[in-house]
Amino acid sequence: VVSTNDGSQQQQGQQRRRPLGHRWAIAADGVDLSGDWELIVTDDFRKEYDRYLERLGQPKLVRSVAIGIIGQTTDQVLQMDQGRSLLIVGKNIRGTWTRTLVSSGTDTTTGAESYKPLRVPIVTADAETVQAESWWENDGTVHVSWLRGVTKYGGGSFESRRYLEENGNVY
């Protein structure tokens, strides 16, 4: 018997039932995004980030500074309750941003159509209250979150995708 990340126990080697559908509330067995993470800033990333900031209307000077400091961004992640919640503490030169993303979707007890999307209020790094909606895709291996109702920097909705690569060494 082994302990699972939700505090329950299961027989060693036994996998829990898979949720139905494409949108899960829980992570797949063995997927845990907990850890301390640094951004991998490549030349391609810098170019994409510059284009993103430009589309938000940021002047060249602001974009240059942002590109210069983006590599100092870190995330500390704690995955809880089989991945239903991700506590994320982001740190950068501007300060610390703490938020909890709560996933909605199917789990091992619900049918594919028996969940309701859950939107929870969170406060952004810019002290703006927005709605966050989160779930797991790709059979519980990719965590997706949407921030809706953002008004700063051109406003809109922003998607983040979190997943592991290279045997869990890259997030």
Instruction: Specify the DSSP element, H or E, that contains 122.
Output: strand 119-123
Alpha carbons 83 and 28: distance in angstroms, whole number = 8
pLDDT in tens, 143-171: 999 999 988 877 788 899 999 988 777 66
Helices and strands of the chain, counted as H and E runs: 2, 10
pLDDT band at 18 (very low <50, low <70, confident <90, very high): confident
Predicted TM-score (pTM) of the model is: 0.81
pLDDT in tens, 69-78: 999 999 999 9
Alpha carbons 96 and 89: distance in angstroms, whole number = 7
